[in-house]
Structure 1
Amino acid sequence: MTFTNGIPPSDKEGKKLFVSPSFLEKILKASHSSPDKEICGLLIGKRESVIEIMPMQNKAAYPERFFEISAADLIKSHRRVRQRQLSIIGHYHSHPSGSCRPSPRDAALAHEGQYWIIAASNKIEGWYAGKNGTVEGIFHPCRLVVE
């Protein structure tokens, strides 16, 4: 299993996301159990630390190509997370027939300051949405610090 996207450990300037190996394993397991449809969920935490992953139902019209979380589910999740004094710091999803590289649709949905974890095959990569991203104009590679 590969949990990083090739960013050298010595990279001090790039974004980092601290995440438990068990969360990454759960994301991979979910993506393997749904090989033809994208799985999705929320990254819950504080700043650059994932404290919990929250699986969500993919409501997209074409779940084999896209993911979509319903507005009602998202509002409920925001309320529940705020009550615990945490934040939704990003999203995770799978690309069943692609790579871990964010798609143009991912870029259209991304908001600056969010972390994204994308699973494909037996690989997971981290991304950060910010200005002048090197991928799709918004995404920067993000080193996953597994602890």
Structure 2
Amino acid sequence: MIKIPAEHLQAICTHAERTYPEECCGIMLGKIGDEGKTVSEVWETFNAWEEEKWAEFPASGGVRGKESTFTIAPLDIIKAQKVARDRQLQIIGFYHSHPDHPAIPSEMDRAIAWAVYSYIIVSVRQGKVGEVRSWCLDDAHQFQEEEIFPNV
């Protein structure tokens, strides 16, 4: 289970609508405990996907644009790690949008995912948020849906 304050969930949805028709992406900071993950901060990041640089990435399915792929720059992740450490938090997951597609992980999503983290996916259809779902990897590196518990 992932617990996320309503204002953070709204910020993710607003980011997804604002960047449509491209995928948005961001980092979630918080804590992991016995009862799941709790989001404390949401960081918007720039979609750093570069078609030329990543066209050879096997799971990309060839050349794809930001409307169907995303990546977070390594320096953004390092910065988030440092800030999280200073605030006694952790990176607990990442979010991104799926423009005009369901909030179900793609093969590319699975290929770049890391165990332990939550992955919130926001479906944005015609510029408006639809479904919001969260996923995490199991021991067989397959996504399993996890419950989103909006807390106030």
Report the alpha carbon displacement of residue 65 of structure 1 after superposing the two structures with TM.
Answer: 1.2
For the residues of structure 1 that align with 2:43 and 2:144, how far apart are their CA atoms? 23
Paired residue type of 1:128: C
Q: Does 1:86 align with 2:89?
A: yes
Q: Does 1:112 align with 2:97?
A: no
Report the alpha carbon displacement of residue 103 of structure 1 after superposing the two structures with TM.
Answer: 0.5
For the residues of structure 2 that align with 1:140 and 1:25, how far apart are their CA atoms? 23
Report the TM-score, using the length of structure 2 for normalisation.
0.80
Write out per-residue CA displacement over residues 1-58 of structure 1, whole angstroms, 9 at most, x where no aligned residue: xxxxxxxxxxxxxxx1111111111111111112110000001000011111111111
Paired residue type of 1:39: C
Aligned residues: 128
Write out per-residue CA displacement over residues 93-115 of structure 1, whole angstroms, 9 at most, x where no aligned residue: 00012110000011011111110
For the residues of structure 2 that align with 1:85 and 1:138, how far apart are their CA atoms? 30
- 2:5 pairs, out of 10, 13, 20, with 20
Unaligned runs of 5+ in 2: 51-64, 125-129
**Counterpart mapping for 1:113-128 below 5 A:** 113-121=116-124, 122-128=130-136
Task: Using the aligned pairs only, state the percent identity.
Answer: 29
Q: Which has the higher contact order (CA 8 A, sep 6+)?
A: 1
Q: Over aligned residues, Cα RMSD in angstroms? A: 1.1
Match of 1:138 in 2: 142
Answer 1 or 2: which has greater strand percent: 2
For the residues of structure 2 that align with 1:129 and 1:19, how far apart are their CA atoms? 19
Paired residue type of 1:91: F
**Following superposition, which runs of at least 4 residues in structure 1 exceed 2 angstroms of deviation?**
none
Match of 2:29 in 1: 44
For the residues of structure 1 that align with 2:71 and 2:28, how far apart are their CA atoms? 15
For the residues of structure 2 that align with 1:50 and 1:110, how far apart are their CA atoms? 18
For the residues of structure 2 that align with 1:104 and 1:20, how far apart are their CA atoms? 29
Write out per-residue CA displacement over residues 67-103 of structure 1, whole angstroms, 9 at most, x where no aligned residue: 1111122111211111111000110000012110000
- 1:59 pairs, out of 26, 34, 48, with 48
Assess if the C-alpha contact under 8 Å between 2:15 and 2:44 holds in 1.
Answer: no
